[in-house]
Structure 1
Amino acid sequence: MDSRVVASAAFVVLSGCMRRIKAHQVQKAKRKRRWWMTSLNRSRERYNVSIMIEDLIREPSGRLENFLRMSYTDFEFLLNEVGHMIGKKDTQLRRAISVKERFCVALRFFASGDSFVSLSYLFKFSPQTVSRCVFDVCDALISVLNHQIKMPRSSNEWKKIAIEFENRWNFPHCLGAIDGKHILIQSPMNSGSDFFNYKHTFSVVMMGLVDANYMFTYVDVGCQGRISDGGVFRNTVLGRKLEENRLMLPNDETLPNHTQTTFPYVFVADDAFALGPHLLKPFQGVYEAGSDERVFNYRLSRARRIVENAFGILASVFRVFRAPMLL
């Protein structure tokens, strides 16, 4: 037999064997799917969150606002703003989850702080789908609402805040209350003690500046929990601009009923912050009742508690801030 024929036959046999071996290895390596969709998730077609929302709208019990943590008008407004950013397309294999359901699962996570597994039973999604919905909605909300929190850009805008503080909280020349809030998190892997705070929990710090109406005018999130509020503030954009005098603050003026002495416009904070030309904190120590220092500390604390109240309102509405985020 011709050697070329033998070589060709051997090559054909060898190629066939290699293909069969490779196909067997691929089939063995690929894990067989146990199920396409669980029976619980398949029942979403019969009754889902969109249907539940419609039922709650028809029932004037207030449970809709409790479930969404906002009025239905606000819900529809935000849904229209972010809907085009979080929607998915249907495929030949399955229908996509509706935009309303994707938005609702994120709102429920904010409102309750439940784990993704717990929310998967309520919304009849897989935990992985719940995770993608939450992160997609967060990115969309940040993109759409980033203009809602903004600092004043002129001395006249700063003065409007100072006038409101004087009228409502009897503290003149106050441009806002500053404080930090520890957002509890699960300890990140290989992070050591970077996020371990003085309360013996793991957290990131949210630094906030609040006006006289409990409205945030500046927010910075993400600094490690082990750093003090004063250290966090120095590393924020607000702290650097204040140190470099780039905030367009009003010039020093006389206090009400005092025509001789000028006084700067200031931010109020607690003892964790460093005293500065435009940053005011209480006198340290204990003073007898009726003393000037005691009266000053009372007035300053009355103005400074606004930021504490704002954090409390935030955690009361969105209870994800009350327990560690398992992320």
Structure 2
Amino acid sequence: MTSNVEDVILAAAACVILCRRRVKSKRRFWVRPSLRTRGTYSGTTLLKDLAMDDIHPLTGEIKCDGSFKNFLRMTSSDFEYLINQIGHKIGKKDTTFRDAIPVKERLAVTLRFLASGDSYQSLSYLFKFSKQSISNIVPEVCDALIDCLSDKIKVPKYQEEWLQIVDDFNQKWNYPHCCGSMDGKHICLQAPMNSGSDYFNYKGFFSIVLLAIVDANYCFTYVNVGCQGRLSDGGVYANTTFKHLLETSSLNLPPMKVLPGRTSPSPFVFLGDEAFALQPHIMTPFPGTQQKGSQGRIYNYRHSRARRVVENSFGILSAVFRVLRKPMLLEPERAEKIVLGCCYLHNFLRKGQSSSSYCPPGTFDSEDTFTGELIPGTWRVEGQPNGTLLRLKRIPRKPSVLGKEIREEFSMFFTSEEGKVPWQNNY
């Protein structure tokens, strides 16, 4: 009898709790008073004002590095191009309750978020719509950008395309048979919910990993985003489709070829740092400190000189899209879309009408023509804050015997008359 009474009491208490949960507090506002002025001064009006700043009052000439470009990181013509490409994907219909947020403002708030890394609350004060709307708009627009710019990042399918990349590396960086420079970086996140230590990396913060391959012109040819920060370099690389394609000879790389002045054929390779294992198609520097003037020292100089393009690409990426310079207050799935969107926009702006203003002279590292001395690019002068785009953890791995032989062949070529550069002995 007593147990039945207790059951009834517990059931009644549960009903009371459920009823209380169903009662919703009455909303104070349908639209906040601070956001009701969107009709008088909205994001569209702001963009028009910024565009007017770029027009010379006397000549009517439009500048490519004015307020509009500084605000959205691209010229007005490239902005209009993106509107035409993704407008039908991100546009919404007006209803009897309210007017939909215009397509231009949806794209503008996303680009401003990528350019500044401001919080959604801060952007809501600027664009006059709620942070809840912005939190839905940003991932949606990034998805649309990735879809419409899908041809901007692609792994070459034909040998002619690979040979064009190889020729660029040989002409600009004096490294023959090079198909790309590869590296991985940690993208800082807030602690994801219920993730334990999956995203906790060796530096002591939560992150996802961006692994990229770059050509000689600082453009991405392959990107992979989303691996948990706890994974080592081997784990990150093992989770990519690129590794499978490379190991199964599915990349359609050109056949092995003899280097000038040599007798043994050498394969076409990708350049990585010490975080990767030495393999026949992945070259890494000689370990330890090499004596000045030795083959190992000269090879490491030539290797690092060519591999520096990926460091510069990451540098300009975070210098322009400053959302990568601070911890993202997003879940990993949404952070992945943000990073991919930045990478696709990087290639779009490098190859589009904004290329001259996106990467003006002096942006990337350069070298003195006669001495070979490194001249740091402006992205290095600005400095990199702690906690963003950190290297992968370097774990000693057993190198491939064939990889060692191939690296030795490259090192002997770099010290030969056919392969040396005038200033390399200075290093």
Note the C-alpha offset of 1:31.
2.9
Q: Does structure 2 retain, via aligned residues, the 8 Å contact 1:179–1:270?
A: yes
The one-letter amino acid of 1:289's match is K
Q: 2:31 aligns with which of 27, 37, 40?
A: 37
The aligned runs of 1:73-92 (5 Å cut-off) are 73-92=77-96
Deviations 1:275-304 (A, max 9, x none): 111110000010111111000000000111
The aligned runs of 1:16-27 (5 Å cut-off) are none
Point out which structure has higher relative CO (alpha carbons under 8 A, 6+ apart): 2
Q: 2:135 aligns with which of 131, 137, 148?
A: 131
Q: 1:105 aligns with which of 102, 109, 113?
A: 109
Q: Does structure 2 retain, via aligned residues, the 8 Å contact 1:209–1:307?
A: yes
Note the C-alpha offset of 1:226.
1.2
Query: In the alignment, which residue of structure 2 is the partner of 1:17?
Result: none
Q: Which blocks of at least 5 consecutive residues in structure 1 are unaligned?
A: 1-24
The one-letter amino acid of 2:240's match is T
In the alignment, the residues of structure 1 paired with residue 217 and residue 203 of structure 2 have an alpha-carbon distance, to the nearest angstrom, of 29
Greater displacement, 287-296 / 31-40: 31-40
The aligned runs of 1:1-327 (5 Å cut-off) are 29-60=23-54, 62-256=66-260, 258-327=261-330
Note the C-alpha offset of 1:156.
2.0
Identity of aligned residues (%): 55
Q: Does structure 1 retain, via aligned residues, the 8 Å contact 2:198–2:230?
A: yes
Which SS does the other structure have where 1:184 is aligned? Answer: strand
The one-letter amino acid of 2:277's match is A
Paired positions, count: 301
Note the C-alpha offset of 1:261.
2.1
Note the C-alpha offset of 1:38.
1.4
The one-letter amino acid of 2:209's match is V
Note the C-alpha offset of 1:259.
4.1
The one-letter amino acid of 1:262's match is P
Q: Name segments (4+ residues, structure 1) moved above 6 Å.
A: none
In the alignment, the residues of structure 1 paired with residue 205 and residue 74 of structure 2 have an alpha-carbon distance, to the nearest angstrom, of 30
In the alignment, the residues of structure 1 paired with residue 237 and residue 305 of structure 2 have an alpha-carbon distance, to the nearest angstrom, of 21
Q: Does structure 1 retain, via aligned residues, the 8 Å contact 2:43–2:128?
A: no
Which SS does the other structure have where 1:43 is aligned? Answer: helix
Note the C-alpha offset of 1:315.
0.6
Deviations 1:58-98 (A, max 9, x none): 11271110101111111110111111111111111111111
Which SS does the other structure have where 2:309 is aligned? Answer: helix
In the alignment, the residues of structure 2 paired with residue 314 and residue 285 of structure 1 have an alpha-carbon distance, to the nearest angstrom, of 30
RMSD: 1.4
The one-letter amino acid of 2:25's match is R
Q: Does structure 2 retain, via aligned residues, the 8 Å contact 1:204–1:223?
A: yes
Deviations 1:214-237 (A, max 9, x none): 010001110011112232112200
Query: In the alignment, which residue of structure 2 is the partner of 1:3?
Result: none
The one-letter amino acid of 1:116's match is Y
Q: Does structure 1 retain, via aligned residues, the 8 Å contact 2:212–2:220?
A: yes
Which SS does the other structure have where 1:290 is aligned? Answer: coil
Q: Does structure 2 retain, via aligned residues, the 8 Å contact 1:179–1:229?
A: no
In the alignment, the residues of structure 2 paired with residue 32 and residue 63 of structure 1 have an alpha-carbon distance, to the nearest angstrom, of 43
The one-letter amino acid of 1:111's match is A
Greater displacement, 223-232 / 285-294: 223-232
In the alignment, the residues of structure 2 paired with residue 156 and residue 46 of structure 1 have an alpha-carbon distance, to the nearest angstrom, of 55
In the alignment, the residues of structure 2 paired with residue 308 and residue 91 of structure 1 have an alpha-carbon distance, to the nearest angstrom, of 48
The one-letter amino acid of 1:127's match is K
Which SS does the other structure have where 1:207 is aligned? Answer: strand
In the alignment, the residues of structure 1 paired with residue 311 and residue 203 of structure 2 have an alpha-carbon distance, to the nearest angstrom, of 17
TM-score (norm 2): 0.69
Query: In the alignment, which residue of structure 2 is the partner of 1:22?
Result: none
The one-letter amino acid of 2:322's match is R
